[in-house]
Amino acid sequence: MKKLEDLKQLIDTNKKSRLAVAGAEEENILIAVDKAYRDLIIEPILVGDSIKIKEYIEKNALELTEDMIVNSANFEESSQIAVQMVTEGKADFIIKGLVDTAILLKAVLNKEWGLRTGRQLSHVMLYEIAAYHKLIMLTDGGMVTYPDLDTKVDLIKNVAEAAKGLQYKTIKVACLAAKEKVNPKMPATVDAGLLKEMYERGEFDEGIIVDGPMALDLAVSCEAAQIKKYSSPVAGDADVLLVPNIEMGNGIGKAITYFGNGTGAGVVMGAKAPIILVSRADDFDSKYYSILFGSVIASAK
């Protein structure tokens, strides 16, 4: 797929995913949710202050209805209700509305009724970039700060699960670093080399191809790989950019958005259901496509 809009091809409008909105009294989130509802992508469950939710629905002439609203007294209760709905099979995935991220994640990680799987939670971004020949995923530029080797294994498993929702048969993972050779003084190259060895030993699921260490140019440019005589099934055709730390991930993501005019959609993986943590600063397209991305993954799960 080349465009985020192409994800709609994967939606079965007869089996729409149920989206629980935690803290739904947020105007811009409601507008994005309404668009996804009208496009037959989701069935919304609006958890939050019912009075404020109704005000925003009326103000913006949204097609969301009163019977979609579940009233709650505060953000903690909104988060608990949204999470428990997934646990009880009444919702398929969650999006953060006005609640703080920390409050929602505390509910997600609750030991009694939360959505723990034992795997590291991680953020997966899916980008549409005019200069690249297909959609590309990046992890993790928003949640995991300095992953060790075991955590990077979880990151690969999480992004592979997201790719499965996109119906990828194979997924090519580029373990990014500043150089292409393992250097003991550069931990990112060491971990990348070990991840490649794990792949070569068959320690990842079938269809997951892992290579590295690899600089960004080699991951996305066949021409760069040819010039540098770098041979790899991933080079120039990466589906996933696995970054060694949050600084590189954040920098690449911001560069895609602000220098490359790219559009992104993001979900948190590693829980029993996709979780969408959008920022109020995100534009409408990012919110809408994040809902679409989460819905496709939730349907596959």
Angle at 34 between CA 31 and CA 38, to 5 degrees: 140
pLDDT at 278: 86
What's the pLDDT band for 281 if we cut at 50, 70, 90? confident
pLDDT at 247: 96
Global pTM reads: 0.94
Q: Of all residues in the chain, what percent carry a pLDDT higher than 90? A: 95
Residues 213 and 142 in one domain: yes
Residues 104 and 175 in one domain: no
> Can you tell me the mean pLDDT for 206-221?
96
pLDDT at 214: 96
Residues 237 and 142 in one domain: yes
Residues 136 and 93 in one domain: no
pLDDT higher than 80, residue 280: no
Provide the residue range defining the domain that includes 184.
122-263
Q: How far apart are CA 212 and CA 178, in angstroms?
A: 11
Residues 134 and 110 in one domain: no
pLDDT at 41: 95
E strand or H helix at 218: helix 216-220
**How much is the mean pLDDT over the chain?**
95
* Pairing assessment for the beta strands 240-242 and 17-22 based on DSSP bridges: unpaired
Phi-psi region of 179 (alpha: psi -120 to 50; beta: other; left: phi over 0): beta
Burial category of 217 from C-beta neighbours within 10 Å (exposed 0-12, middle 13-18, buried 19 and up): middle
Q: What is the pLDDT of residues 10-62, one digit of tens each?
A: 998 888 999 999 999 999 999 999 999 999 999 999 999 999 999 999 999 99
Residues 236 and 291 in one domain: no
Residues 126 and 224 in one domain: yes
Q: What is the pLDDT of residues 156-192, one digit of tens each?
A: 999 999 999 999 999 999 999 999 999 999 999 999 9
What's the pLDDT band for 270 if we cut at 50, 70, 90? very high
Residues 190 and 288 in one domain: no
Residues 54 and 155 in one domain: no
Q: What is the pLDDT of residues 77-119, one digit of tens each?
A: 999 999 999 999 999 999 999 999 999 999 999 999 999 998 9
Task: Kindly report the CATH number assigned to the domain that includes residue 95.
Answer: 3.40.50.10950
How many domains are there within the chain?
A: 2
Residues 211 and 292 in one domain: no
Q: How far apart are CA 280 and CA 154, in angstroms?
A: 28
